[in-house]
Amino acid sequence: MQVERRTLLRKLVCSLRGRMRMKTVTIKQLLSFSVLAFVVSILPAKSYAELPVPAHITPPVGEHESPIVPQPIEFPHDRHVNDMKINCMYCHTYARRSKVAGIPPTSKCMGCHKVIATDKPRIQQLTEYWEKGESPKWLKVHDVPDYVHFTHEKHIRKFVFDEKFPVEDVQQVCGLCHGEVRGMTVAEKKKPLNMGFCQRCHEANGGPGDCWACHK
């Protein structure tokens, strides 16, 4: 799968917006951003090798085109996942324990960012939240209706732990429903997460077909 140019462009714009919010942008920087943006737009797109699908899973079928959700901080998933090789479950630590994967607590972000990249505007924005004693108000991207009881814990157990699938490759499993997060900044919804999508996967992988398994 290829990472689209627009992802790179968006990263540029995101970083510009971050700086504008911090009021640290100068005319000179603005100009150089435009030039950079132009250069990026004519460059051939950067590409990743497509994530392999774990052998024991028949992947669910379905695509979804998502609008980009403007988050309070343009959190770069790609930087953390792809460049730093941080495991999904390091931050979304509740995924293996609970029905929700959880947004990492601000204290977890600050665990690293007290010392790392403190000069970056987005980190300064984060530090500002931390010092005020507030958490950023993120906007939900992946959600199912209240009458659907989806649980991360059962899916992780079945597809990762029961199969002795290497935890370091867990993004191959997460990606089946969440798309290639390593190529995104803020999370985007890439799969429809509707009943047809779930049902087809349940049929292909031997998940429960009983209404009451999900609708309680």
Partner 1 sequence: MSVKVNRRKFLKMLGWGGAGTALTGCDLPTTVTLEEGKEEVVSYLMPEEYAIPGIGVWYASTCTQCEAGCGLHGRVREGRVLKVEGNPDSPVNHGKSCMMGQSTVQSHYNPDRITSPMMRKGSTLQSVSWDEAMSALTSKIGPDSGVKGDRVGMITGTVSGHQAVIIDELLAQVGSKNHYVHEVINTSVWSSVCRDMLGDEMPKLNYDKAGVILSFGADFLGTWISPVHNMGEYAKFRKGARGSLIQVEPKMTLTGGNADLWIPAKPGTEGALALGIANFIIERGWNAVDVPSSIAKTLNQYTLTAVEKVTGVPVNKIKRIASMLTERAPSLVIAGASTENHENGYDAVASVMLLNLIMGNIGKTIEASAKFPEKALRAKQGNTKDLLLLAKALKDNKLDVLFTYNTNPAFTAPAVLQVSEGLSSVGFKVAFSMFPDETTLQADLVLPIHSGMEDWGTHVPAYQPDTSSVLSLQQPLMEPIHKETRGFGDIMLSMLKLRNKNFGDFPDYYSYLQTAVANMPADVTGSVEGASKDIWSNVLQKGIVKAKASANALTPKLVDMKFKVKHDNSGYPMHLVPSARLGLWDGRHANIPWLQEFPDQIAKVVWGSWAELHPKKASELGVKNGDYVRVTSASGSIEAQVYIHKGIHPDAVSVPMGQGHDEFGRYAKGRGVNPLKILNPLMERRTGELATHATRVKVTNAHKHEKLVHLGGSETQVGRKFVKTISVDQLRRTEGEA
Residues of this chain that interact with partner 1 (CB under 8 A) are 62, 64, 66-67, 69-70, 94, 97-100, 102-107, 130, 133-145, 151, 189, 192-197, 199
For partner 1, the closer CB: 33 or 150: 150
In the complex, least distance from residue 47 CB atom to partner 1, rounded to whole angstroms: 26
Per-residue b/e over 38-64, b at no fewer than 16 CB within 10 Å? Answer: eebeeeeeeeeeebeebeebebbebee
| CA–CA distance, 208 with 112 (Å, rounded to integer) | 40
| CA–CA distance, 47 with 40 (Å, rounded to integer) | 14
In the complex, least distance from residue 132 CB atom to partner 1, rounded to whole angstroms: 10
The number of beta carbons lying within 10 Å of the beta carbon of residue 88 is: 22
For partner 1, the closer CB: 33 or 130: 130
Instruction: Find, among 182, 68, 75, 187, the residue nearest to 122 by Cα.
Output: 75
For partner 1, the closer CB: 33 or 197: 197
In the complex, least distance from residue 104 CB atom to partner 1, rounded to whole angstroms: 6
Query: Would you state the structure tokens that stand for residue 76, as one six-digit string?
Result: 């770069």
**Phi and psi based region of residue 103 (left: phi greater than 0; alpha: psi -120 to 50; beta: remaining):** beta
In the complex, least distance from residue 53 CB atom to partner 1, rounded to whole angstroms: 21
Angle, vertex CA 13, rays to CA 11 and CA 16, nearest 5: 110
Q: Which residues contact 77 (CB under 8 A, 6 or more apart)?
A: 181, 182, 184, 185, 186, 187
In the complex, least distance from residue 173 CB atom to partner 1, rounded to whole angstroms: 19
For partner 1, the closer CB: 54 or 62: 62
Which 8-state DSSP code applies to residue 169? G
In the complex, least distance from residue 100 CB atom to partner 1, rounded to whole angstroms: 4
For partner 1, the closer CB: 106 or 125: 106
For partner 1, the closer CB: 52 or 67: 67
